[in-house]
Structure 1
Amino acid sequence: MHKVEDLKIWQKAIELSKAIYILISDLPKDERFGLTQQMKRSAVSVPSNIAEGAGRNSNKEFRHFLGIANGSLYELQTQLILTIELNLIDNKKVQHIIEECIEIQKMNYALLQKL
């Protein structure tokens, strides 16, 4: 088992989730039950799966949950790109969050290699 609070990847994923919740407040109200909800689910899934994996009894199980977290990161990145493509949010507000997704993906890959 790993102490999740000490994992930098988990800390970054928590910050990413908070940034998504803040960003979502800028989305049009008619997206409240569409893209908005999906982005929240994807964002929260990342630190949640890292935490679940860290709490498991083997590195093999941890790797499995890191894989799920990585899939959620790619899902979130796609949804962020859609907000830009649909002109729902200013590109400048979204681009740094996309870069955070990519950084966490790299951290995930490095952690998987370490395990």
Structure 2
Amino acid sequence: MEKGFEQIISWKKSRELNKEVYVLTERALFSKDFALRDQMRRASISISSNIAEGYGRKTKKEFIYFLNVAQASCYEVKSQLYLALDINYLDKVEFEKVYGICDEISKTIYGLIKHLENKT
């Protein structure tokens, strides 16, 4: 049974993103590019971690702050995906799949922020 931050859609999707990022960055060329590999992994992990941490803070204001940090990390992953595509670490299909997951996460985080802001 899900409870707490585990029920948040953007957190669930960020777990999917984490897995995809790790699979992609394990590849021969990508895995040797330590800077991009590690930065992309950290940014991806930051999304799920900040959602969970914000939830744990228990105040709406702090939760919204951490959701914004998570969303910024999602945009960071998007930017890194473009670089990985440009230098042929992944192909267009892989790019679109992972970018699409990032889009879903961004949209659900945005929706959650708006929901929390409108809550009395």
- Following superposition of structure 1 onto structure 2, how do residues 1-115 of structure 1 map, counting pairs within 5 Å? 3-26=4-27, 28=29, 29-31=31-33, 33-115=34-116
How far 1:30 moved relative to its partner?
2.9
CA contact (8 A) 1:27 1:88 kept: no
Question: Which runs of 5 or more residues in structure 1 are unaligned?
Answer: none
For residues 78 and 53 of structure 2, the distance between their equivalents in structure 1, rounded to whole angstroms, comes to 22
The TM-score, its normalising length taken from structure 1, stands at 0.93
**Match for 1:90: what amino acid?**
D
Question: What is the total number of aligned residue pairs between the two structures?
Answer: 113
SS at match of 1:34: helix
- When residues 27 and 41 of structure 1 are mapped into structure 2, their CA distance, relative to the original with a 3 A threshold, is farther
**Match for 1:18: what amino acid?**
K
- When residues 108 and 27 of structure 1 are mapped into structure 2, their CA distance, relative to the original with a 3 A threshold, is farther
The TM-score, its normalising length taken from structure 2, stands at 0.89
SS at match of 2:15: helix
User: 4+ residue stretches of structure 1 with deviation over 3 A?
Assistant: none
SS at match of 2:106: helix
Question: Which runs of 5 or more residues in structure 2 are unaligned?
Answer: none
For residues 96 and 9 of structure 2, the distance between their equivalents in structure 1, rounded to whole angstroms, comes to 21
CA contact (8 A) 1:54 1:62 kept: yes
